[in-house]
């Protein structure tokens, strides 16, 4: 038996140390007693019986030990096999995740490198003009080759930064002239750009729409002031351009230092005043008494730089009142300086700040105050002794894009224009409304490598997998019937926390509802993918991408707040959301899904009518709410319209 037991142990993979120790029986000789031979004979039957009983007990003990050892062996073996299976599964998932990450990083790097090469090449052309290496006319021809994508720029001009001007010129002059579809060349003159400097919705918008345009084959550049607070680590290949760059201000020419580099594949030019170095060497971006002087200097310097480089963009894209002065400057001074084919587009993010100034300040950047201080030009509609810079931007632009995801054009002009209503009505045909977006290359549930399983509107299976993974990560019970509610952090966190405490108290006995108020960046993707409801402050904050991401990841954004009596309300005016034909598609999506839905109604529908709820979710997911969607379409239509004027 012991031999058989020894033979099966290696088969089971159990070490020999698990073998039960053999029990030694005393030899028969130990029962002899020569001096009591006769007594032994008398007690022989009794001894024999006792010995048999002892053997039987010991044999039973051995078999009991064997059975226990066998059970332990089988249990340990099952545990070992289970651990091996779990380890293999984990390694497989880990390798799959690493593969996805490497693939996405490679795709991202390839796309960024292609865009960066185009932008870097154009910036090198600019620097050669400033350094008098080539003429503005020759630079214009070279740019046309790049902008029209006659051949693959990446294939011909890889490693631009390592080539000398003479070597680069030789390649440019041999650059093939094979035609492709023409694209737009857009230059943003702006005061913010994420991630370099971010103070409001302008920064994310400039970067978001620029990346979307470049993904569609258009060429985009950005000109910014060189603030002291810029995050220059975000700029690829930052370099100071050697050459003269003068601009007019306050009756004379002033020197500027020019820097350029690439951010997310977008060519970025930074203008640093030499004589007015204090203009942008400050703690804040906005909010100083001399803001008009600061930004009018920058606007004039931007236009002087564009002309000096011989650039001929299709569109100069301006933002809010801070760069709206470019409109009058362009038409009164620069239109005839080689920019006859350029048009002006102004974006207004709101009308709260309009740049009200004394008319004589217009002369600082070379404008004629008497010519512009007219009721149909820059004269303020209310305080007629002043000029209104934002009004001038509207009057002197070919198109005006108003950024508002929810409000239709009528509501903006009538209720939100802050005394600009007469001007906007006169120029109503110029006005278009566009929604905000988010970065699709980072936030897309069908390709998001942070998720355990991807999904989309056509195949929602991965959503359930993400929910289980999220519940596990949060240490919650993995019941598919649970309604997982997530509270995302916002700028109004204190207000929402008060509201959350009230709601948690109200629903404390409902085990199917889970609240998560804290998360880190790594967890945020899974929060959107695994949740059923995302609580947000409202749909009106342009800097809050929470509702957009929630809809795209199959979660319902529910706007919640408390009234003065701490009652739950929908913090939204239903009258602002309508089916006005001049409203955005996004506002109509919100209106048809979750915009008018209270928290309680959402919970009731999930429980009582899950099929209807799923239809709502899938319908919302089917729309592209990123910068590449409706926002891009509105801008492309605006650019096309003004180029055909």
Least confident of 44-48, 125-129, 149-153: 149-153
536 within 8 A of 558, measured Cβ to Cβ: yes
Residue 44's pLDDT band (cuts 50, 70, 90): low
Percent of the chain scoring above 70 in pLDDT:
72
pLDDT value at 487 more than 80: no
Least confident of 31-40, 283-292, 432-441, 584-593: 31-40
255, β-bridge pairs: 246
Least confident of 23-32, 196-205, 601-610, 625-634: 23-32
Structure tokens that stand for 243 in this block: 């050459």
Instruction: Write the CA distances from 529 to 49, 221, 455, 535, 623, integer angstroms.
Output: 77, 34, 9, 14, 16
259, β-bridge pairs: 240, 270
Structure tokens that stand for 482 in this block: 């649970």
- In degrees, rounded to 5, the angle at the alpha carbon of residue 331 between the alpha carbons of residues 329 and 335 is 105
What's the chain's average pLDDT? 81
Instruction: Write the CA distances from 507 to 124, 338, 496, 532, integer angstroms.
Output: 62, 67, 16, 17
Most confidently predicted of 33-47, 75-89, 472-486, 585-599: 585-599
247 or 497: which carries more pLDDT confidence? 247
Percent of the chain scoring above 90 in pLDDT:
51
Quick one: average pLDDT of 189-201? 93
237 or 567: which carries more pLDDT confidence? 237
497 or 235: which carries more pLDDT confidence? 235
Residue 147's pLDDT band (cuts 50, 70, 90): low
426 or 30: which carries more pLDDT confidence? 426
Give residue 333's pLDDT: 97
Question: What is the β-pairing status of strands 315-319 and 343-348?
Answer: parallel
Least confident of 94-98, 237-241, 556-560, 616-620: 94-98
| pTM listed for this prediction | 0.75
Distance CA 526, CA 616 (A): 21
What SS3 string covers 301-328? HHHHHHHHCCCCCCEEEEEHHHHHCHHH
Distance CA 295, CA 272 (A): 12
Distance CA 155, CA 439 (A): 27
596 or 291: which carries more pLDDT confidence? 291
For residue 195, cis peptide bond before it (omega within 30 degrees of 0): yes
Distance CA 462, CA 464 (A): 5
DSSP class of residue 442 equals T
Other C-beta atoms lying within 10 Å of the C-beta of residue 146? 22
Transcribe 464-486 into DSSP letters: HHHHHHHHHHTT----TT-EEEE
pLDDT value at 91 more than 70: no
Residue 543's pLDDT band (cuts 50, 70, 90): confident
Give residue 536's pLDDT: 82
If you search the block for the tokens 């209503």, which residue do you land on?
A: 421
Least confident of 132-146, 175-189, 220-234: 175-189
Structure tokens that stand for 30 in this block: 């130990």
328 or 101: which carries more pLDDT confidence? 328
pLDDT value at 498 more than 70: no
Q: Which residues contact 442 (CB under 8 A, 6 or more apart)?
A: none
pLDDT tens digits, residue range 545-591?
Answer: 999 999 999 999 988 764 444 444 444 444 444 545 678 999 989 98
> Length of the chain in residues, anyone?
645
- In degrees, rounded to 5, the angle at the alpha carbon of residue 624 between the alpha carbons of residues 620 and 630 is 115
Quick one: average pLDDT of 93-122? 58
Tell me the three state secondary structure of residue 187.
strand
Quick one: average pLDDT of 256-283? 95
Distance CA 259, CA 348 (A): 27
Distance CA 118, CA 146 (A): 7
Give residue 25's pLDDT: 45
If you search the block for the tokens 């002309």, which residue do you land on?
A: 307
247, β-bridge pairs: 254
Distance CA 617, CA 558 (A): 13
Structure tokens that stand for 157 in this block: 């001009």
Give residue 502's pLDDT: 66
pLDDT value at 392 more than 70: yes
Structure tokens that stand for 118 in this block: 């185009």
pLDDT value at 321 more than 80: yes
Distance CA 217, CA 111 (A): 12
Which helix or strand (DSSP H or E) is residue 246 part of? strand 246-249
Give residue 39's pLDDT: 55
Least confident of 264-273, 313-322, 443-452, 494-503: 494-503
Give residue 177's pLDDT: 40
pLDDT value at 49 more than 90: no
Q: What are phi and psi of 493, to 5 degrees?
A: -60, -40
Distance CA 499, CA 563 (A): 10
Residue 168's pLDDT band (cuts 50, 70, 90): low
Residue 504's pLDDT band (cuts 50, 70, 90): low
369 or 572: which carries more pLDDT confidence? 369
Residue 256's pLDDT band (cuts 50, 70, 90): very high
Residue 299's pLDDT band (cuts 50, 70, 90): very high
Least confident of 101-115, 143-157, 229-243, 491-505: 101-115
Q: What are phi and psi of 482, to 5 degrees?
A: -65, 140
Quick one: average pLDDT of 516-521? 69
Which helix or strand (DSSP H or E) is residue 433 part of? strand 431-434
Residue 314's pLDDT band (cuts 50, 70, 90): very high
- In degrees, rounded to 5, the angle at the alpha carbon of residue 76 between the alpha carbons of residues 73 and 79 is 150
Distance CA 142, CA 427 (A): 37
Transcribe 52-103 into DSSP letters: HHHHHHHHHHHHHHHHHHHHHHHHHHHHHHHHHHHHHHHHHHHHHHHHHHHH
pLDDT tens digits, residue range 53-70?
Answer: 666 767 777 777 777 777
């Amino acid at each position: 038996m012991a031999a058989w037991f020894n033979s099966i142990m290696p088969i089971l993979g159990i070490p020999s140390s698990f073998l039960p120790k053999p029990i030694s029986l005393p030899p028969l000789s130990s029962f002899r007693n020569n001096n009591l031979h006769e007594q032994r004979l008398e007690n022989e039957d009794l001894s024999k019986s006792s010995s048999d009983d002892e053997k039987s007990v010991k044999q039973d003990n051995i078999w009991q030990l064997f059975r226990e050892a066998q059970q332990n062996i089988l249990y340990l073996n099952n545990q070992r096999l289970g651990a091996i299976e779990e380890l293999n599964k984990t390694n497989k998932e880990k390798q799959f995740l690493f593969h996805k990450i490497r693939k996405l990083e490679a795709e991202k790097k390839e796309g960024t490198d292609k865009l960066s090469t185009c932008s870097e090449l154009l910036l090198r052309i600019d620097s050669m003009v400033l350094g008098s290496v080539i003429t503005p006319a020759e630079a214009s021809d070279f740019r046309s080759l790049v902008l029209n994508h006659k051949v693959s720029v990446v294939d011909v001009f890889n490693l631009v930064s390592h080539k000398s001007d003479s070597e680069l010129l030789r390649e440019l002059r041999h650059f093939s002239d094979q035609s492709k579809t023409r694209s737009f060349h857009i230059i943003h003159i702006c005061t913010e750009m994420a991630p370099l400097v971010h103070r409001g919705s302008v920064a994310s918008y400039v970067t978001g729409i620029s990346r979307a345009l470049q993904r569609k084959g258009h060429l985009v550049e950005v000109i910014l002031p060189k603030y002291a607070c810029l995050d220059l680590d975000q700029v690829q290949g930052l370099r100071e351009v050697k050459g003269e760059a003068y601009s007019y201000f306050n009756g004379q020419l002033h020197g500027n230092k020019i820097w350029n580099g690439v951010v997310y594949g977008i060519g970025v030019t930074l203008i640093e005043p030499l004589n007015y170095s204090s203009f942008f060497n400050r703690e804040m971006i906005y909010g100083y008494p001399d803001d008009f002087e600061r930004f009018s200097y920058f606007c004039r310097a931007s236009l002087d730089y564009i002309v000096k480089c011989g650039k001929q963009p299709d569109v100069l894209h301006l933002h809010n009142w801070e760069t709206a002065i470019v409109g009058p400057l362009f038409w009164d001074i620069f239109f005839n300086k080689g920019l006859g084919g350029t048009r002006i587009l102004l974006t207004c993010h709101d009308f709260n700040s309009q740049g009200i100034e004394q008319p004589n300040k217009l002369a600082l950047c070379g404008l004629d105050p008497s010519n512009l201080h007219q009721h149909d030009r820059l004269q303020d509609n209310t305080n007629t002794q002043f000029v209104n810079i934002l009004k001038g931007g509207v009057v002197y632009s070919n198109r005006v894009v108003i950024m508002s995801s929810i409000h239709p054009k009528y509501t903006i002009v009538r209720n939100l224009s802050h005394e600009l209503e007469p001007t906007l009505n006169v120029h109503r045909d110029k006005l278009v409304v566009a929604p905000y977006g988010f970065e699709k290359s980072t936030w897309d549930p069908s390709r998001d490598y942070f998720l355990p399983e991807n999904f989309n509107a056509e195949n929602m299976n991965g959503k359930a997998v993400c929910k289980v993974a999220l519940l596990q990560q949060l240490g919650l019970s993995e019941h598919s019937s649970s309604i997982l509610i997530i509270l995302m952090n916002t700028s109004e966190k204190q207000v929402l926390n008060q509201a959350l405490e009230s709601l948690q108290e109200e629903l404390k006995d409902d085990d199917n509802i889970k609240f998560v108020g804290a998360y880190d960046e790594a967890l945020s993707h899974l929060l959107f993918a695994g949740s059923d409801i995302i609580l947000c402050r409202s749909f009106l904050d342009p800097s809050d991408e929470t509702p957009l991401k929630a809809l795209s990841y199959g979660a319902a954004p529910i706007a919640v707040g408390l009234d003065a009596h701490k009652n739950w309300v929908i913090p939204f005016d239903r009258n602002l959301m309508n089916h006005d034909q001049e409203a955005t598609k996004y506002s109509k999506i919100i209106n048809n899904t979750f915009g008018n839905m209270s928290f309680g109604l959402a919970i009731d529908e999930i429980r009582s009518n899950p099929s209807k709820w799923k239809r709502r979710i899938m319908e919302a997911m089917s729309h592209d709410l990123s910068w590449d969607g409706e926002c891009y379409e509105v801008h492309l239509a605006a650019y096309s319209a003004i180029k055909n004027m």
